[in-house]
């Protein structure tokens, strides 16, 4: 599958499609297991994200789960994940290596992705599923969605990235309370806590997510990608380093054809048509 365009990819645990021009969609496709992830799914997610990243015709991504019951409920605890059992049993550091190469790698890929991503959440997004949603840039949730961290119910940890992500969105005290008490919140409360960007009626969620992503495809691609990179980096560095990064970024955008097109469109009182050059 190496080198295949996003729209031509086929997977065992994912569905990849382009529901609108310029919009990619990755659907976690294990609805009977409430879209719980396996190691195999994480490897397919990494491949799908790379295909989206490398396709310049795709400018926005929707990440979602099949069905209405769940976005993702974290790792599959059923014991049926043979690859998980093999990796953990056959290596002294198997659990850590599997996490590093599995869902941690997916979370890292999403956070570092230089294109926008939107998590479209029906049903439960808990434990590693919540970390996966928070790794996206924005989160639209249906009114019936439920978000939280259930890791401690099985004696597990927020190890997929939750220990880094949860406090950044909620604050340390609320994140600890959520994880230690295994709390799950309805969508409206999750939005107040900072876990959700927008709450939408369940039946209108897909249309709202698509409309948002279509609007993104009309933006200047260079500016969108660099803005995301600048803001993500700014959370980890001081003011001086952030301003210096902005100085480098404008050397890419300001001389670009997109900026010339944007200025002409403003002067001619028409919508701009950006090409990403």
pLDDT value, residue 91? 65
Q: Does residue 162 share a domain with residue 44?
A: yes
**Is 143 part of any domain?**
yes
Q: Does residue 196 share a domain with residue 65?
A: yes
Quote the mean pLDDT of the chain.
91
Helical H runs in the chain?
39-54, 82-90, 94-101, 103-112, 128-134, 162-170, 172-180, 187-193, 205-217, 221-234, 239-253, 257-268
Q: Does residue 237 share a domain with residue 182?
A: no
Q: Does residue 145 share a domain with residue 229?
A: no
Q: Does residue 96 share a domain with residue 25?
A: yes
Q: Does residue 171 share a domain with residue 53?
A: yes
- Where residue 241 falls among pLDDT bands split at 50, 70, 90? confident
Q: Does residue 132 share a domain with residue 110?
A: yes
What pTM, to 2 d.p., does this model score? 0.91
* Nearest-5° Cα angle at 101, 100 to 107: 75
**Is 156 part of any domain?**
yes
Instruction: Give how far Cα 36 sits from Cα of 20, 126, 183, Å.
Output: 27, 10, 18
pLDDT value, residue 277? 80
Q: Does residue 254 share a domain with residue 178?
A: no
| Count of domains forming the chain | 2
If one compares 8 and 204, the residue with the highest pLDDT of the two is: 204
Could you say which DSSP state residue 270 is in?
A: S
Q: Does residue 164 share a domain with residue 123?
A: yes
Could you say which DSSP state residue 203 is in?
A: G
Q: Does residue 208 share a domain with residue 81?
A: yes
Residue 72 has pLDDT above 90, yes or no: yes
- Where residue 200 falls among pLDDT bands split at 50, 70, 90? very high
Query: In which domain, by residue range, is 148 found?
Result: 6-217
Query: Residue 230 and residue 243: Cα distance in Å, rounded?
Result: 9
């Amino acid at each position: 599958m190496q080198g295949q365009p996003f729209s031509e990819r086929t997977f065992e645990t994912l569905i990849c499609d382009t529901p609108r021009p310029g919009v990619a969609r990755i659907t976690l496709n294990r609805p009977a297991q409430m879209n719980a992830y396996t190691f195999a799914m994480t490897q397919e997610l990494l491949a799908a994200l790379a295909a989206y990243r490398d396709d310049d015709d795709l400018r926005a991504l929707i990440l979602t789960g099949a069905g209405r019951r769940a976005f993702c409920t974290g790792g599959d605890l059923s014991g049926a994940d043979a690859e998980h059992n093999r990796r953990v049993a056959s290596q002294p550091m198997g659990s850590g290596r599997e996490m590093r190469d599995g869902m941690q790698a997916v979370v890292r890929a999403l956070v570092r992705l230089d294109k926008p991503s939107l998590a479209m959440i029906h049903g439960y997004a808990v434990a590693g599923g919540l970390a996966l949603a928070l790794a996206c840039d924005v989160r639209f949730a249906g009114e019936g969605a439920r978000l939280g961290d259930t890791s401690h119910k099985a004696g597990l940890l927020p190890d997929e990235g939750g220990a880094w992500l949860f406090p950044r969105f909620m604050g340390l005290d609320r994140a600890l309370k959520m994880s230690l008490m295994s709390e799950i919140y309805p969508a409206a409360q999750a939005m107040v806590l900072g876990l959700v960007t927008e709450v939408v009626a369940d039946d209108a969620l897909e249309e709202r997510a698509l409309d948002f992503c279509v609007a993104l495809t009309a933006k200047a691609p260079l500016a969108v990608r660099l803005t995301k990179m600048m803001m993500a980096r700014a959370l980890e560095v001081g003011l001086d380093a952030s301003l210096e990064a902005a100085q480098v970024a404008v050397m890419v955008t300001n001389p670009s054809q997109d900026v010339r097109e944007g200025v002409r469109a403003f002067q001619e009182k028409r919508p701009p048509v950006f090409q990403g050059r």
